[in-house]
A = this chain, B = another copy of it.
Amino acid sequence: MNTDATGPAFFDVVLNQRAHRYLSPDAVADSLIEQILTAATHAPSGENAQPWIFVVVRDPVVRGEVGRLVAESWTSGSSDRTAEMVPPWMHREVDHWAREGLATAPVHVVVCVDERLCHEGLWGSSIFPAVQNLLLAASALGLGSLMSTYPVAFTPQLRTMLSLPDHVHPLAVVPLGFPAKALGPPRRIPMQDKTFRERYGEAW
């Protein structure tokens, strides 16, 4: 066992994870980011290749530009399309996030894959478990975050701003900060309604 471990109870963290779209601009210390990214690097990956790369962005110019790109895309079409697919309360939250919440977050963790270490068919199964560890660890430490792949639509701009070489591809941009809004437990469909026994169609 790794012996320097601690924190709240595992299921308390996992069953209460939420997407935090309202974050305080207060700074997040390096020591917290190090605990969070250590958790991320303990995720599984294909052939244990550990193909993840994290770029921790605090520069307000870069965060502002990422926020501006997302806000522009959101207000010029995505907002209307999303409104058709999610309940109004969620649309209001995403609207806040896209217009200002993302840029306000004091840290953006840009999670990338190194294509030299991982076949493209395994990018998802080798990177998103690490992102999930990142989100859970943030939650365990009292920080807010959310899974966001939206900014990946702006990969050419990210590549320029972050000096990403051609073999490094951003797959998620995770905003991190202290929550500015308390959230209740997540709303989920019970596992019994998502699970079949032996074959599709046979109720659990």
The answer to whether A52 touches B125 (Cβ under 8 A) is no
Q: Does A28 contact B (CB under 8 A)?
A: no
Interface size for chain A: under 10, 10 to 19, 20 to 34, or 35 or more residues?
35 or more
B168 touches A198 (CB 8 A): no
Stretch touching chain B among A69-77, A82-90, A95-103 = A82-90
Cβ–Cβ < 8 Å partners of A86 in chain B: 47-48
A23 contacts partner chain B, Cβ-Cβ < 8 Å: no
Contact call B47/A196, Cβ cutoff below 8 A: no
Chain B residues within 8 Å of A1, by CB? 12, 16, 185
Smallest distance from the beta carbon of A73 to chain B beta carbons, Å?
A: 15
Q: Are B133 and A131 within 8 A (Cβ)?
A: no
**How far is it, in angstroms, between the C-alpha of A55 and the C-alpha of B162 when the chains are bound?**
41
Please list the residues of chain A having a beta carbon within 8 angstroms of any beta carbon in chain B: 1-2, 5-17, 19, 34-35, 37-44, 46-50, 52-59, 62, 82, 85-86, 90, 122-125, 127-129, 131-133, 135-137, 140, 146-147, 149, 161-165, 168, 171-172, 185-192, 194-201, 204
